């Protein structure tokens, strides 16, 4: 039975090519293409919270993305099970949501959010860097094709990863400074226009937070699945790593005025830590967060073109507040700890060192110590050689750095700057 929720507008690809003759749906094709890209595999060695490779049981960007995908699919099944307005022939496609969830961190660089902030600072004169904008760049321009033309995503899939819809220059104008995050690159205006089917934003959605909150239903589900995984699964890693203890939670709660009484969210977390049952606690909470989601009708400038904008995701306010509480706990107690900040500083230092030498050699084309060393793999060096402008070369160097895993970045830094490290037999990647 065909799914009436989607039409030709949703399944159209930028190339105009059809998927006729393939036994898979267009959204299954999107998902499968993501799964078989090097960019997806590299997530196994990119930092989620704790540096990848330090211990086997900590989550990486890859395991986080897989968990988000599972939660996203489960939300789709939960909403469909609730009936009206959804039914067996009219439902939010779980393969499409899974594809968006698997892709949502593809563009994130090594060393977590510290790496993202560092690249954005280094690219301030070249249009900035943003993890979600980089994801769109990968999907539409960089991955899957040897000709660097992207994976030709369906409109619904491209739109499902568009968490933000303001351009870098628009956010810069609104914020009157270089924007920190939540933007698309200016050169992605065409991709944004295509994803919206050529519709212009109305006056009530100006650039900034108002426009960035305008998301398709699949993007909203992906966003809530990401919040669920981020606010709950990171708790488990933090407890295992010894960063979240009962004493630290109590001190933080007292300082912030939160209750630790029996039955409160923090009280139940502390009880789970005492009985060494944090993973079951997290598992039950994930189920609760999934069941907290419901659909409501919506009317906007795109709701007449696609069902993807006829509905909005509503989440029980108590559950959303609990999620924000757990995220604040993890951020202030774990992410801001000196131990993690020292590692973030090191990651930023590595990226800055690599940028400075590659920017001088390949963007400005200047010799290093009087010599034009070939520092990059042949395919990357050739693409830079053929780029038409400094702006293009800066973006390609940024692409190279953003695509690195934590380990690759560290090894390349040591090969370039540590005298007794490196061998002619080392792998390039």
Are 124 and 178 a contacting pair, CB within 8 Å? yes
Q: What is the pLDDT of residue 372?
A: 85
The structure's pTM equals 0.94
Q: What is the pLDDT of residue 238?
A: 85
Q: What is the pLDDT of residue 93?
A: 98
Q: What is the pLDDT of residue 237?
A: 84
Average pLDDT over residues 234-260: 91
Average pLDDT over residues 124-143: 95
The structure tokens 């924000």 sit at 324
- Rounded to whole angstroms, how far apart are CA atoms 304 and 199? 11
Identify which of 163-177, 281-295, 380-394 has the greatest average pLDDT: 281-295
Q: What is the pLDDT of residue 404?
A: 94
Ordered domains of the chain (ranges, CATH): 8-212 (1.10.3210.10), 217-338 (no CATH), 341-417 (no CATH)
Q: What is the pLDDT of residue 48?
A: 62
Question: Distance from CA of residue 405 to its chain's centroid?
Answer: 15
Are 357 and 416 a contacting pair, CB within 8 Å? yes
Q: What is the pLDDT of residue 145?
A: 65
* pLDDT tens track for 268-277: 999 999 999 9
Q: What is the pLDDT of residue 423?
A: 66
- Concatenating the DSSP letter of every residue in 31-76 gives HHHHHTSHHHHGGGGSBSSSPTTS-TTS-BHHHHHHHHHHHHHHHH
The rounded percent of the chain whose pLDDT value lies above 90 is 75
Q: How far is CA 173 from CA 47, 126, 132, 177, 178, in A?
A: 32, 16, 20, 7, 9
* pLDDT tens track for 364-415: 988 888 888 889 999 999 999 999 899 999 999 999 999 999 999 999 999 9
């Amino acid at each position: 039975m065909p799914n009436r929720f989607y039409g030709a507008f949703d399944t159209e690809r930028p190339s105009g090519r059809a998927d006729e003759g393939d036994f898979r749906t267009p959204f299954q094709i999107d998902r499968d293409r993501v799964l078989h890209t090097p960019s997806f595999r590299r997530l196994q060695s990119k930092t989620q919270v704790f540096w990848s490779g330090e211990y086997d049981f900590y989550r990486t960007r890859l395991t986080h993305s897989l968990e988000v995908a599972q939660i996203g699919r489960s939300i789709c099944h939960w909403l469909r099970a609730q009936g009206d307005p959804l039914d067996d022939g009219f439902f939010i496609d779980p393969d499409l949501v899974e594809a968006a969830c698997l892709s949502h961190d593809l563009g994130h660089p090594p060393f977590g959010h510290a790496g993202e902030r560092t690249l954005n600072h280094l690219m301030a004169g070249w249009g900035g860097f943003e993890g979600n904008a980089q994801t769109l760049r990968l999907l539409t321009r960089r991955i899957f094709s040897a000709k660097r033309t992207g994976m030709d995503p369906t409109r619904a899939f491209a739109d499902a990863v568009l968490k933000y819809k303001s351009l870098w220059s628009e956010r810069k104008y609104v914020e009157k400074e270089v924007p920190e995050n939540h933007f698309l690159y200016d050169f992605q205006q065409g991709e944004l226009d295509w994803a919206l089917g050529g519709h212009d934003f109305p006056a009530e959605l100006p650039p900034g937070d108002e426009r960035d909150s305008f998301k398709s239903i699949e993007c909203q589900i992906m966003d809530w699945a990401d919040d669920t995984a981020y606010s709950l699964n990171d708790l488990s890693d933090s407890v295992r790593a010894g960063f979240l203890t009962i004493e630290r939670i109590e001190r933080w709660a007292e300082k912030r005025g939160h209750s630790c009484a029996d039955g409160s969210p923090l009280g139940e977390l502390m009880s789970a830590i005492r009985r060494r049952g944090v993973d079951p606690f997290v598992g039950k909470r994930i189920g609760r967060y999934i069941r907290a989601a419901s659909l409501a009708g919506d009317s906007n400038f795109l709701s007449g073109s696609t069902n993807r904008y006829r509905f909005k995701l509503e989440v029980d306010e108590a559950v959303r507040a609990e999620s924000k509480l757990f995220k604040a706990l993890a951020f202030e107690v774990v992410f801001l700890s000196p131990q993690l900040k020292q590692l973030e500083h090191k990651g930023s230092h590595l990226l800055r060192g690599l940028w400075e030498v590659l920017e001088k050699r390949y963007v400005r084309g200047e010799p290093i110590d009087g010599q034009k060393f070939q520092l990059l793999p042949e395919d990357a060096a050739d693409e830079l050689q053929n780029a038409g402008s400094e702006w293009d070369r800066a973006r390609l160097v940024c692409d190279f750095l953003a695509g690195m895993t934590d380990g690759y970045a560290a090894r390349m830094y040591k090969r370039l700057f540590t005298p007794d490290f490196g061998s002619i037999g080392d792998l390039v990647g």
